[in-house]
Amino acid sequence: MAEVVIVDSPATGGALVARHIATQVRHSSDFTLGVATGSTPLPVYAALARERSDGLDLSGVSAFALDEYVGLPRDHPESYHSVIHREVTEPLGLDPSLVRVPDGDEATIATAGERYETELDAHGGVGLQLLGIGTDGHVGFNEPGSSLASLTRIKTLTARTRADNARFFDTPEQVPTHCITQGIGTILRAQHLVLLAFGAGKADVIARAVEGPVTATIPGSCIQLHPHATVVVDEAAATRFERADYYRWVYEHKPAWQGL
Ligand code: PGA
């Protein structure tokens, strides 16, 4: 099963994950990080930026983003090209030529999924993939019903996801209707998955992803199929777990050599 780590705050969770990534990067400076957008991974990026100020060199790290909107110009402030540049590439000092985001250009969208898969494969895949989870259970933009074997492709966003993301746009109508996203099969090829969920609004969906059946209805439940998955939640997101006491006990008694 996934290891579930319950922390007292998103900042503590971010620091924990950042420390682990820093260890990986010190071990191999050309580490490949799978990056996610949304509010959830921000504490990880903030803590990694602090690691950088303390001397961690991330300039050899490659990054692959999970997804992108279709039809937003790359330089639109809410395109994931822009968001990843602003929230990840710049503050962490990554080399922009080593950061990839799926191509959401409508003119070439028909081949964009296959091109991204080819790039990922040619690169040798992702070492650690950061994931958030949508209130509808999505990971990346794999909306409920997405094939558990899916590869990078176009998806239609659910009304719920568009409403959740409306906060980033001036009006809800401006949220694009389509996206390109790594598939669940793509995500499962990363060596280590780190799924983060913070706040009471995620308590129900994260419990279903971790403890419910593996089902395309909750795409986040795909983590149960992965040999190395870590789930980091704060107390507010941990209230619906049936086995919370067990997770706490396991983490408290974890051998130091195991790492995250
Ligand atoms: P959030 O989004 O981190 O902004 O809550 C998560 C997601 O949609 O995957």
pLDDT (tens digit, 9 = 90+) per residue, 161-220?
999 999 999 999 999 999 999 999 999 999 999 999 999 999 999 999 999 999 999 999
Percent share of the chain, pLDDT over 90: 97
104 CA distance to ligand 1 centroid (A)?
19
Which atom of ligand 1 sits closest to the CA of residue 165? 4
- 5-to-38, 141, 204 alpha-carbon distances in Å: 21, 24, 16
> Residue 208, SS3?
helix
| pTM given for the model | 0.97
CB count in 10 Å sphere of residue 226: 18
Q: Work out whether strand 192-197 and strand 99-100 pair parallel, antiparallel, or are unpaired.
A: unpaired
| Eight-state DSSP code of residue 88 | I
Q: Which amino acid is at 67?
A: D
Residue 199 CA: nearest ligand 1 atom is 5
**Domain regions of the chain by residue span:** 3-254
pLDDT of residue 12: 98
CB contact at 8 A, 81 and 64: no
Distance between Cα 243 and ligand 1 center (Å): 24
Judge whether residue 259 has pLDDT over 90.
Answer: no
- In this predicted model, what pLDDT tens digit does every residue of 133-157 receive, in sequence order? 999 999 999 999 999 999 999 999 9
Helix or strand (DSSP H, E) at 46: helix 42-53
pLDDT tops 90 at residue 123: yes
Please give the positions annotated as active site: 67, 136, 138, 143
Q: Quick check: 16 pLDDT over 90?
A: yes
In ligand 1, the atom with minimum distance to the C-alpha of 131 is 9
pLDDT confidence of residue 256: 86
Q: What kind of fold does domain 3-254 have according to CATH?
A: Rossmann fold (3.40.50)
Ramachandran angles phi, psi of 203, nearest 5°:
-60, -45
In order of 14, 54, 170, 217, the CA distances from 67 in angstroms are: 21, 30, 21, 19
pLDDT for the residue 6: 98
Distances (CA, A) of 122 to 20, 63, 116, 158: 25, 14, 10, 32
Confidence (pLDDT) at 62: 98
Q: What is the pLDDT of residues 218-239, one digit of tens each?
A: 999 999 999 999 999 999 999 9
Q: Indicate which residue's Cα is closest to atom 2 of ligand 1.
A: 38
**Does 219 contact ligand 1 (Cβ within 6 A)?**
no
Measured from the CB, is residue 239 less than 6 Å from ligand 1? no
Query: Residue with the nearest Cα to atom 7 of ligand 1?
Result: 134
User: Does the C-beta of 43 come closer than 6 Å to ligand 1?
Assistant: no
Residue 39 Cβ < 6 Å to ligand 1: yes
Q: What is the mean pLDDT of the chain?
A: 97
The answer to whether 93 and 85 are in contact (CB under 8 A) is no
Query: Pairing between strand 153-156 and 178-181?
Result: antiparallel
Pairing of strands 128-131, 32-35: parallel
pLDDT at 234: 98
Q: How far is Cα 42 from Cα 259, in angstroms, rounded to an integer?
A: 22
For residue 1, what pLDDT is reported? 78
Ligand 1 pocket, residue 165 CB under 6 Å = no
Structure-token pair, residue 135: 């209130």
